[in-house]
Structure 1
Amino acid sequence: MLSLKAAQELRQSLTRSDSILKTDSDLLAVIWPDRPGLPAAPVFEHSAPFATRSRQRNVQAVRQAMTQAGAQWHLISALDDIAWVLNLRGSDVSYNPVFLSHLLIGPDSAVLFVDKTKLVPELIARLAADGVTVEGYDDIQGALTALPHEALLVDPARTTVGLLAHARSVSLIEKLNPSQRFKSVKNQAEIANVRQAMEQDGAAVCEFFAWFETAMENGELVTELTIDEQITAARARQPHFVSPSFSTIAGFNANGAMPHYMATPESFSVIEGDGLLLIDSGGQYLNGTTDITRVVPVGQIGAEHRRDFTLVLKGMIGLAAAVFPEDYPAPLLDTLARAPLWAQLLDFGHGTGHGVGYFMNVHEGPQMISHRAYRFPDTEMKAGMITSDEPGLYRPGQWGIRIENLICAVPAGQSEFGNYLKFETLTLCPIDTRCIERQLLSEQELSWLNAYHEEVYRRLAPRVSGHALTWLQTRTAAI
């Protein structure tokens, strides 16, 4: 399970001590004799109109990158990269539409190593027609051993040292998987599909919040677990819904101060009294992946709640409204979202933004918006990249605030100084203005918020009705 990069770093560290790194023992087998077998969920095709690039085109793009790197062979073990290259999806990993496999691409061949029982014969035939053959999952070891004395391209952070031990005859070229870059840049057809997915998701979240406010007004028992159930059910009623994109985070008051909190049947809070409720959730749709965080008031909230909320909102708007040079290092954009918090000697401990897949993993690279990653390679922001914008502020034992939209880098124009990018906000859902301290917003920030709410109403109103439409009208009213 150890990546080549991790093994290299460990070995380097261990040279300073009287220790060596052994990677030829399966320690889990000794202590886990009743370990379950590998998942057997079926693999299915992500097809048109949702898949907008052909499998042959994807493989050819990877081959061209291999040639540029000087490699005759390329081993891909990253499951999201394999799913993207082959326009296939699965459900072997919770919330992520991927399947256990390896892919070995050569000058004129491509072999998918997977449990064959997970693919119907018709799909195997379609893969073969596109130049992709299917072999058993464990056959990858023998295939690597049989490779000729040529160059093998591998991503050291996404390939295990144990697997590469079988590739004894090749010379390794260690670089980022080319497919990481290709799939991070969405084309216009994919972005158009994502916009539709955002409308579907926004309508679902409106329905949820309309239910939530009505339930609270009627004195119904609502818990953090209930919220997960209800918001998932609302999404499931939308077209093309497949599953949540991650486990819903619903944290009330002190629970919201833990960024990765998860309620369980053994430990959860009832939503009652006064305070802030943080909900971070998302959906996997055939036409896109969503991830949204909203904070809403419960009962009465105070001036400190509103001050914290508004500072986070200012940071979120600061990043969303940015204009910057094309290929600018994404980690350096982080300062735009933190500046309002830093000015008050405040901060948050996680990154501001992560890449988001297209009916794929909700976290993907190579771009990331985090000042802690400024030394990382391959983080340039390019047009078509979808990234989260989610600054936060957490007061342990009291409350947590995070406001998250997904944003897409789009062309902003060209000048004698080069090409520039800006962000299009994709997520469509009101930001609760009851939590805002109006005097802390600049006129530009207020204009951005009102324009955003106007767009949210325009695009979601045709998709909701009844209580959800009434809720939408109220929550998008200009301030």
Structure 2
Amino acid sequence: MAWTYNIRGKDVDYNPVAIGYGLVGLTENHFFVHPSKLSASVLSEFNKNGIKVHPYESIIPFLNNLKESTKILVDPSLCSQTIYESINGQIISGTSISKLLKSIKNDVEINHIRNVMKKDGAALAQTFYWMETKLTHGDEITEVEVAKKIAENRSLQEFYQGESFGAIIGYKDNGAVIHYHPEPETCKKIKPDGILLADSGGQYKDGTTDITRTFALSAPTNDQKKSYTLILKGMIALSRAKFPEGTTGAQLDTLARQFLWAEGLNYGHGTGHGVGFFLNVHEPPQGFAPVHSERGQTIQLPGMLTSNEPGYYKDGEYGMRIENLILTQKSKIDGFLEFETVTLYPFEHALIEKSRLTTEEIIWINDYHQKVYADISTFLNTEVNQWFKEKCKSL
């Protein structure tokens, strides 16, 4: 309903939405929400556009009193059993119309998304410069402190509203826990040794971000470099893909896994999920996942924003994941689609085993790093900029 009625709220942590119900019709529209949550200007706009506001708790009696001839489209994946059983009318089960519509970003949103990635990347550069400097000087930092520093640097950016999810900062074996969340009482102290996984995102009025990078805090082992490079090759394969219209997420998911599979390796999560525009960081229906899921069955359409995040997790030792957001767009080849990578942050040079890369992959990485530096360097002070230039160097 936040997208349908073009509003945002603060009822749910990390997700800028209001708790409520909506009933959208051909001749009338209803919104069931606590009226105190709506400003006078929003109420005025609703009134101009024929949207009737009702108390949140009045949804059930309202549905009870519908005419039996009323036809109601209900998305079972979004509707509770209580609401479903309260409908006095002819129920048609199907996918929410707004679910698909909001997944396709318009030109204005796309331009904002490209711009928001620049300031988000700058915030990360400032954070990881701080982290590396601390570790070099022998200062003690924790997983929680890194998470807080990322949020702090994002908060300095224009239109920042908060995190898009609780940051996943996993040091060594904690990184192998896919949805690990550090807590002050139990988090690890980070030292200049081993592997660190950092997955975080921000909510801005001009877009939602989600990015993962993996860092080598000391000289990596051959096994670690192999794992990282196989993941990177998979990410590049998906990023560079050209595919016919009508291709599903399940078909594309395998592109990111192929190099791990060739070595008898895999990861136990989908390769990607849809991302909203100043909305939920996990937004259905599209994604890259096995065929039995909604994400796997949904076809990619121009304007969709989806994460590309293959990984590898060695229990008890380390976890690795690399994540960019990619935008689906029409290819120059008639009837085909391709992706534009919009996330901006360099990969970890120390973990890349160049001998495993093809010439085309090396060119792609170098071109990407060149763009990252060009787009972000102007946001950085001289000291951080010099450090960041080294991070964006060619292979």
Q: TM-score range by the shorter chain?
A: over 0.9
| 1:239 partnered with 2:239 | no
Cα distance, 1:194–1:395 mapped onto 2, change above 3 Å: same
Distance across 2 between alignment mates of 1:256 and 1:372: 27
Residues 103-118 of structure 1 correspond to what in structure 2 (within 5 A)?
Answer: 103-118=22-37
Corresponding position: 1:399 with 2:318:
yes
Equivalent position amino acid for 1:431 in 2: F
Distance 1:377 1:110, change over 3 A: farther
Tell me, yes or no, if the aligned pair for 2:287 and 2:296 is still in contact at 8 Å.
no
Letter in 2 for 1:198: M
- What's the CA shift for 1:372? 4.4
Task: Tell me the distance in 1 between the aligned counterparts of 2:6 and 2:95.
Answer: 20
| From 31, 41, 46, the counterpart of 1:127 | 46
1:124 Cα deviation from its structure 2 partner: 0.9
**Alpha-carbon distance between aligned partners in 1 of 2:191 and 2:302, rounded to the nearest angstrom:** 44
394 and 324 in structure 1: CA distance in 2 versus 1, 3 angstrom threshold: same
Task: Tell me which amino acid in the other structure corresponds to 2:80.
Answer: T
2: CA distance, partners of 1:374 / 1:106: 29
Distance 1:254 1:276 in 2: 9
For the residue of structure 2 that corresponds to 1:83, the secondary structure is coil
Q: Deviations over 1:82-101 (max 9, x none)?
A: 00001100111110001110
Give per-residue Cα distances to partners, 1:276-322, cap 9 Å, x unaligned: 00000000000100000001111232111111111110111110010
Contact 1:206–1:471 under 8 Å retained in 2: no
| Cα pair 1:210 1:467 within 8 Å, conserved | no
Matched, 1:197 2:116: yes
- Give 1:378 shift: 5.8
1:252 corresponding residue in structure 2: 171
- 1:380 alignment counterpart: 299
CA distance in 2, matches of 1:295, 1:176: 37
C-alpha separation between the residues in 2 aligned to 1:201 and 1:273?
Answer: 25
TM-score by length of 1: 0.81
Counterpart position of 1:471? 387
- If the length of structure 2 is used for normalisation, what is the TM-score? 0.98
Instruction: Kindly state the Cα deviation for residue 374 of structure 1 after the two structures are TM-superposed.
Output: 6.1
Q: 1:450 aligns with which of 366, 381, 392?
A: 366
Q: Secondary structure at the match of 1:409?
A: strand
Q: How many Å separate the matches in 1 of 2:300 and 2:28?
A: 32
SS in 2 for 1:364: coil
Gaps of 5+ in 2: none
Q: 1:163 aligns with which of 73, 83, 102?
A: 83
The verdict on how the C-alpha distance between 1:254 and 1:298 changes in structure 2, with shifts beyond 3 A counting, is same
* Aligned AA (1:292): I
Q: Distance in 1 between matches of 2:192 and 2:294?
A: 45
1:274-423 matches, within 5 Å, as 274-373=193-292, 379-415=298-334, 419-423=335-339
2: CA distance between counterparts of 1:301 and 1:259? Answer: 21
State the alpha-carbon separation in 2 of the partners of residues 216 and 377 from structure 1: 41
**Preserved CA contact (<8 Å) 2:288 2:296:** no
Select the structure of larger CA radius of gyration.
1
Matched letter for residue 286 of structure 1: K
> Does the 8 Å CA contact 2:219/2:350 hold for their aligned counterparts?
no
* Maintained 8 Å contact 2:144/2:184: yes
Q: Tell me the residue number matched to 2:131.
A: 212
CA shift at 1:167, angstroms? 1.2
1:273 CA drift (Å)? 4.5
Q: Distance in 2 between matches of 1:337 and 1:326?
A: 19
Q: Secondary structure at the match of 1:201?
A: helix
Of 377-386 and 89-98, deviating more is 377-386
Rate the CA distance shift 1:374–1:228 in 2: closer, same or farther, 3 A.
closer
Q: Distance in 2 between matches of 1:359 and 1:177?
A: 19
| Contact 1:124–1:133 under 8 Å retained in 2 | no
Any idea what SS the aligned residue of 1:123 has?
helix
- For residues 244-297 of structure 1, what are the alpha-carbon distances to aligned partners after superposition, in whole Å with 9 as ceiling and x for unaligned? 000000001100011101111221101115210000000000010000000111
Separation in 2, partners of 1:376, 1:442: 30
| Structure 1 residues 330 and 370, CA gap change in structure 2 (3 angstroms) | same
**Residue 154 in 1 paired to residue 154 in 2?**
no
Counterpart Cα distance in 1 of 2:285 and 2:277: 14
Q: CA deviation at 1:467?
A: 2.6
- The structure-2 alpha-carbon separation of the partners of 1:374 and 1:322, relative to structure 1 and needing over 3 Å to count, comes to farther
CA distance in 2 between counterparts of 1:424 and 1:395 reads: 30
Partner Cα separation in structure 2 for residue 175 and residue 208 of structure 1: 44
Q: Distance in 2 between matches of 1:283 and 1:117?
A: 27
Give the conservation status (yes or no) of the 8 Å contact 1:332–1:374. Answer: no
Q: Tell me the alpha carbon deviations over residues 157-216 of structure 1, each in whole angstroms, 9 at most, x when there is no partner.
A: 111111122213x11101100001100000111100000100110111111111111111
Distance 1:121 1:393 in 2: 50
Following superposition, the deviation at residue 120 of structure 1 comes to: 2.1
> How many Å separate the matches in 1 of 2:218 and 2:285?
42
* Offset at residue 125 of structure 1 (A): 1.5
Structure 1 residue 377 displacement after superposition? 8.0
- d(CA) in 1 for partners of 2:191 and 2:24? 56
> Partners of 2:141 and 2:293 in 1: how far apart?
42
Aligned residues: 394
**1:177 & 1:377 partners in 2: Cα distance?**
17
Identity across matched positions, percent: 39
**1:436 corresponds to which residue?**
352
